Amino acid sequence: MNNNTNLEDENRIREAFKNKNWNEIKTEDSWAIFKVMSEFVQGFEKLAKIGPCVSIFGSARTKEDNVYYQMAVEIAAKLVRHGYGVITGGGPGIMEAGNKGASMQGGKSVGLNIVLPFEQNHNIYIDPDKSITFDYFFVRKVMFIKYSQGFIVMPGGMGTLDELFEAITLIQTKKIGRFPIVLVGRSYWEGLMDWIKDVMHAKEHNINPEDLNLINIVDNPTDAVKVIDDFYAKYLLQPNF
């Protein structure tokens, strides 16, 4: 399998340096544009009237007996009881847990799945009319950001970090509103946060002090949902369904 993977990687690298004529370039790029447009249109049409939702990010590899899986189920269930829908990446692990908790409470359970050669198949807890599959990560991330009123981030890998920092960057640069971001699991996240505070901020001055206030760290489902509730109570906003 490793040999096949290496061969696939080598072929992709070689393909990137392959000389193409103008007709090949124009044809391939044109079809890619139409594919991207179709994914945006599908996402907008399905999610336009979704109502206030909170996105739950986390690893696809987290098993059902893991404490973070169980916490994600509870967080999603609490969010639904407090009037929010739940959006996940639609796959297994933490994503499945989020959709499961929402579905158990009869709430809106949205899954934004991504086509991958491994790991990802959509879970069974997504509402049938709220399951969307994407080829492009960047289109999928737009949907997460556009239709979420908050972000709860469970322990995860590279994809989870990508989604987390996408949300932070858009808030920091004021491209979107200052929606709450909640990291669940202090022991998992505190090393990263210490580096951000001590190196990125204090030593290198690459962020402003107020940027640190964008992120909340909690250790249990009750506190995670409380951050979301307190934020909207403070700004006199209420879920509208």
Interior angle at CA 206, CA 211 and CA 144, nearest 5: 50
Do the beta carbons of residue 183 and residue 217 sit within 8 Å? Answer: yes
Q: Which residues pair with 111 in a beta bridge?
A: 88, 131
Whole-structure pTM value:
0.85
Mapped to the 3 state alphabet, what secondary structure does the chain carry? CHHHHHHHHHHHHHHHCCCCCHHHHHHHHHHHHHHHHHHHHHHHHHHCCCCCEEEEECCCCCCCCCHHHHHHHHHHHHHHHCCCEEEECCCCCHHHHHHHHHHHCCCCEEEEEECCCCCCCCCCCCCHHHEEEECCHHHHHHHHHHCCCCEEECCCCHHHHHHHHHHHHHHHCCCCCCCCEEEECHHHHHHHHHHHHHHHHHHCCCCCHHHHHHEEEECCHHHHHHHHHHHHHHCCCCCCC
Task: Please report the pLDDT score of residue 62 as a whole number.
Answer: 97
Percent of the chain exceeding pLDDT 90 equals: 71
Q: How many CB atoms lie within 10 A of CB 99?
A: 32
Task: Please report the pLDDT score of residue 118 as a whole number.
Answer: 65
Token pair belonging to 145: 């950001």
Q: Which residues pair with 72 in a beta bridge?
A: none
Task: Please report the pLDDT score of residue 240 as a whole number.
Answer: 42
Q: Which CATH number fits domain 18-234: 3.40.50.450, 3.10.20.30, 3.20.20.70, 3.30.43.10?
A: 3.40.50.450
Low-confidence ranges of the chain (pLDDT < 70): 1-5, 8-9, 11-27, 118-120, 235-241
For residue 183, what are the CA distances in angstroms to 33, 128, 203?
A: 35, 29, 23
